[in-house]
Structure 1
Amino acid sequence: MDPVSMVFGAVIALGGFVFGRVLTKRQAQEALERRSRQEQARALGAQQNPQPLCGCGHHLVFHDQKTKKCQTQVVIPGRWTGQSGSTYRQCMCQGYRGPLPLDEYYAPDYLNETDG
């Protein structure tokens, strides 16, 4: 083999290795910065009110008021059942198992009353 082509091949291989290492390190640093920004936003109180999600992953509004059974349809991909298309079935959740939202009441403001 020609020594020039061997050196050229080695330079290409080494360049690919270095480029891969630098790119991976850069992606890891970006992910770390993104995670730290999310933690800072959560610590500063940008967190929303907790949503009433059941263990099945559906919201409280999808559960019946009386029986507490889930009323939603769940998609079963065809690749799991060996069919070409997806199918639907009733959610198997037997009752709502999530946090109960607090009832909201109106209370008049007595502190700023200016009735003399």
Structure 2
Amino acid sequence: MDPVSLLVGAIIAVGGIVVGRMLPARRVKPEPQPPALPSAPRSPKPMCGCGHHLVFHDHENKRCQAQVVIPGKWTGQSASSYRPCMCQGYRGPVPLDEYYAPDLLNGES
């Protein structure tokens, strides 16, 4: 290799570095992120299969005490009507009881 070709190669390399530093930085478009999932609740909500909360069910016989709306367009009437929920018993997650645990250190650190 002759010294002229080495000098030309070095000039091209240094010129490329200088031009790369002088040009504005190319911005890479961020990839679209999928929407973040909402955080899961700490415990499942006590919802029955009928769609009503545990508080609508009687504690003794577990029957649902809520009212269900029947839209008028289903019955051919102009107004909506109500009827008792036909749920025979609560069929959902049972919430855990919360207990108080006293401090083991009796308030001392």
- Would you say 1:110 and 2:96 are equivalent positions? no
Q: Which residue of 2 aligns with 1:15?
A: none
Q: Which residue of 1 aligns with 2:76?
A: 82
The number of residue pairs the alignment matches comes to 77
Q: Which residue of 1 aligns with 2:86?
A: 92
Unaligned runs of 5+ in 1: 1-31
Q: Secondary structure at the match of 1:109?
A: coil
Bigger CA radius of gyration: 2
Of residues 60, 67, 77, the one that matches 2:54 is: 60
Q: Secondary structure at the match of 2:46?
A: coil
Q: Secondary structure at the match of 1:74?
A: strand
> Deviations along 1:58-102, whole A, 9 cap, x unmatched?
000000000000000000000001111000000000000000000
Q: Secondary structure at the match of 1:89?
A: strand
Aligned-pair CA distance for 1:113: 4.2
Q: Distance in 2 between matches of 1:91 and 1:63?
A: 10
Q: Assess, with a 3 A threshold, how the Cα gap between structure 1 residues 83 and 97 changes in structure 2: closer, same or farther.
A: same
Q: Distance in 1 between matches of 2:49 and 2:95?
A: 15
Q: Which residue of 1 aligns with 2:44?
A: 50
- Would you say 1:37 and 2:21 are equivalent positions? no
Aligned alpha-carbon RMSD (Å): 2.1
Q: Distance in 1 between matches of 2:36 and 2:83?
A: 36
Q: Which amino acid aligns with 1:85?
A: A
Q: Which residue of 2 aligns with 1:23?
A: none
Q: TM-score, normalised by structure 1?
A: 0.60
